[in-house]
Every structure is written in C-alpha cells, then in structure tokens.
C-alpha cells in the first residue's frame, strides 16, 4: 500500500470513529427525552388480569435532580412471583434508561423469559447502572438481554454496573445476559452478588470481550474490574475478583488469558451429585476455546472459558447450560429465541 493510501485510510478511519462517537451521544440525548432520564424518575407498578397475565403499566413520576449531560444514573428493581401456575413480574421500578423490554412464556410450564433493555445500547464514562431482582418462592425466571452490552471509552470517568440477585425458597433463576464488549480506553467496574435460599437453584454467566478485533480495535488502554460473590443462607460460597489492565502481563501469560481476548464464567448452584453429568460436561470441546469445569464440595459448579471470539465462548458455555438445565431446572435445554435473532 502506498504512503498516500495509508494516509487516506487513516483519515477515513478517524472520520468513522468520530461519526460513531457523535451518533452515540445523539442517541443518548434522544433517550434522555424519550425516557425522561434527567428531569423525572418513574415508578411502574404492573397491573394484572385475574389470570395473572400482564396488561398495562401505571406510571407515577416525581421530580428529581437533573443529571449531568455526560453521565447517567439508571436503576431497575424487579420483584418476580408465582401466581397460580405462572411466574409473573409482580412489581417493577425503574429510574432512567433501564427497563423491562418484554416478558415471554416459551412453553406451557409457566416459566417466564424476561428481557432487560438498556436503550442507549452502551455504557459510557461516568454512567452507573443498578439492577436488583427478587425471585419469590416457587417462581422460575430466565433473564437475558436482546444484544451485547458495550462499554465505551471512559474519558477519565469510570463506568459501573451492580447486579443483585435474591432468591427465596424453592425458586429458580437463570441469569444469562449476552456478552459485554469492552472498547479501547474503557474503565469498567462491575459487581454481581447472588443470594440464594437453601433450596433455591440458580445459574448464570458473564462473558467479556476485550476490544473489537473485527473492527481493528484492540484493548490497548483502560482497565476492567469485576467482582462476583455467591451466598447461600448468608454464607459465602464463592468470591472471584478480577482486576485487569490493558497492559497487564496476565493477558499474554500462560497462567492468565494466554493471548485470548474473550473470557467467560458460568456458575450453577443446586445440581445433584451426578458424576456422569460432570464427565459429560468436561468432554465438551469447541475449536479455539479452552474450557475447564470445577465442582466444589458444597455443590457449586464453575466453568471458565477462554477464546478469541465471543460467539465460540458463548457456544461452549451454552452447551454446558443445555446439558445441566434438565437436572437444574427440570426444563429442556433449549436456548431463548432472542439469541438467534
């Protein structure tokens, strides 16, 4: 390639990046208008038909302090309950651009699929998201997102997300958000806490992709911090803390990420002691994915995957989830439709 063509290519890429940033802020401003992110906070109580099916929302708004134009605070609190043979959203409260997109019923078992939506599509520097989900006794919910989360450049301001999952006795929760993409120069702070009753069952995952290789962007500056804790009856069973800078030697070390740019954690609690099931999951293979599974004495399963594409890592973890789901949830291992759209 000639020097002139190289300069032209660099100029064009700079123009594209500039337009992407401008479009992102235009979309954020539009969402601020549509969802009243700055001037109001909304509390939504979902009305029900006699059979427990959702109808309309009764939204009550109150004044709130204006938010900075460069950062958003968004909160979503959901209470899930069992009514008759169905799991329903009993109550939902949201502040800012974070809400329920849709509740679906994929079969006749009464299990509910819940899609959570963050309309801006990305988390920028200074943004703080909070998700709190309570699952009532006997309820069964599978929660996912319609697309990948994007953590944008921080501009010197860390962005954060906290997730709290609380399960009451006899409940089942599957926490399966799609992957998170960390852009170059992002400063990510993510925390997840799971509190389980003694006879509740739960599984979930986190999938992180550093940079956007297909767009020619690498994670060359920035930092990711993630902390996951799982409790059963107030007793800590598992705590994992990750702090990874873009220039951390662990990214290339054989004892760390070993040159991979995608990492996934899958956890499950409430499975029976079945050696054949464990062996079957350990035999799962995917090209380009390093996969390992640990089963602790207290019954917690943790699977970890490293790879070079989010699709292959998610496919490996999905295969584990499909094999475990009948024993964990008494339901077939069929992925949600949204994952294939």
* The two three-digit tokens of residue 123, written as one number: 């988390």
Q: Give the pLDDT score at 62.
A: 31
pLDDT of residue 70: 60
Whole-number pLDDT of residue 295: 95
Range 38-63 burial, b when 16+ CB lie within 10 A, else e: beebbebebeeeeebebeeeeeeeee
- The answer, as to whether pTM is greater than 0.85, is no
Percent of the chain with pLDDT over 90: 73
Check pLDDT > 90 for residue 35. Answer: no
- What mean pLDDT, rounded, does the chain reach? 84
**196 or 337: whose pLDDT is higher?**
196
Q: What is the DSSP letter of 105?
A: -
> Using one digit for the tens of pLDDT, what is the confidence trace for 61-95?
333 333 445 678 999 999 999 999 999 999 999 99
> What is the structure's pLDDT at 99?
94
The domain spans of the chain are 1-34, 35-252
Dump pLDDT digits (tens) for 219-268. Answer: 999 999 999 999 999 999 999 999 999 999 999 999 999 999 999 999 99
Indicate if the pLDDT at residue 5 is higher than 70: no
Pairing of strands 140-144, 172-175: parallel
Distant-in-sequence, close-in-space partners of 31: CB < 8 Å, separation ≥ 6 = 37, 97, 119, 120
pLDDT digits over 286-319, tens only?
Answer: 999 999 999 999 999 999 999 999 999 999 999 9
Q: What contacts 22, CB < 8 A, 6 or more positions away?
A: none
Confidence of residue 133 (pLDDT cuts 50, 70, 90): very high
Reduced to 3 states, what is the DSSP secondary structure of residue 19? Answer: helix
How many other C-beta atoms can be found within 10 angstroms of the C-beta atom of residue 291?
21
pLDDT digits (tens, 9 = 90+) for 161-173: 999 999 999 999 9
H-helix or E-strand containing 299? Answer: none
Q: Which residues of 4-35 are buried (b: 16+ CB within 10 A; e: fewer)?
A: eeeeeeeeeeeeeeeeeeeebeeebeebbeeb
């Amino acid at each position: 390639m000639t020097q002139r063509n190289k300069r032209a290519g660099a100029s064009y890429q700079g123009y594209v990046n500039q337009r992407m940033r401008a479009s992102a802020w235009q979309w954020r401003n539009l969402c601020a208008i549509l969802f009243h992110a700055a001037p109001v906070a909304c509390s939504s109580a979902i009305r029900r038909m006699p059979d427990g099916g959702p109808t309309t929302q009764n939204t009550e708004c109150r004044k709130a302090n204006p938010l900075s134009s460069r950062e958003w605070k968004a909160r979503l609190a959901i209470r899930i309950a069992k009514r008759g043979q169905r799991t329903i959203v009993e109550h939902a409260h949201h502040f800012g651009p974070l809400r329920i997109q849709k509740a679906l019923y994929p079969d006749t078992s009464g299990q509910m699929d819940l899609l959570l939506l963050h309309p801006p599509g990305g988390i920028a520097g200074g943004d703080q998201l909070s998700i709190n989900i309570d699952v009532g006794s006997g309820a069964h919910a599978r929660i996912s997102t319609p697309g990948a989360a994007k953590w944008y450049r921080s501009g010197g301001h860390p962005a954060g997300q906290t997730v709290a999952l609380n399960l009451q006795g006899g409940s089942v929760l599957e926490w399966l958000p799609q992957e998170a993409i960390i852009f170059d120069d992002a400063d990510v702070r993510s925390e997840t806490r799971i509190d389980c009753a003694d006879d509740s069952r739960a599984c979930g995952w986190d999938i992180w992709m550093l940079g956007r290789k297909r767009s020619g962007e690498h994670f060359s500056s920035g930092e990711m911090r993630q902390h996951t804790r799982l409790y059963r009856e107030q007793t800590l069973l598992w705590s994992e803390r990750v702090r990874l800078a873009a220039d951390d030697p662990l990214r290339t070390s054989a004892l760390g990420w070993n040159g991979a740019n995608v990492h996934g954690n899958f956890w499950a609690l409430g499975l029976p002691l079945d050696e054949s099931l464990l062996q079957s999951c350990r035999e799962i293979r995917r090209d380009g994915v390093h996969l390992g599974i640990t089963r602790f004495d207290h019954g917690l399963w943790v699977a970890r995957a490293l790879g070079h594409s989010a699709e292959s890592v998610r496919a490996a973890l999905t295969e584990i989830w499909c094999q475990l789901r009948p024993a964990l949830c008494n339901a077939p291992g069929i992925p949600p439709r949204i994952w294939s759209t």
